[in-house]
Amino acid sequence: MIGLEHYLFLGALLFVCGVVCMATKRNAIGVLIGVELVLNGANVNLVAFARYNPAFEIEGMIFSLLVIVLAAAEAAVALAIVLNFYNNHSTVDVDSAEELRG
Binding to other proteins (CB under 8 A) within 37-66 occurs at 37, 40, 43-44, 47-48, 50-59, 61-62, 64-66
3-state SS record for the chain: CCCHHHHHHHHHHHHHHHHHHHHHCCEHHHHHHHHHHHHHHHHHHHHHHHHHCHHHCCHHHHHHHHHHHHHHHHHHHHHHHHHHHHHHHCCCEHHHCCHHHC
Count residues near other proteins (CB under 8 A): 76
Site for other proteins contains 96 (CB under 8 A): no
Site for other proteins contains 97 (CB under 8 A): no
Pick from 84, 98, 99, 102: which binds other proteins (CB under 8 A)? 84
Name which of 17 and 97 has its Cβ closer to other proteins.
17
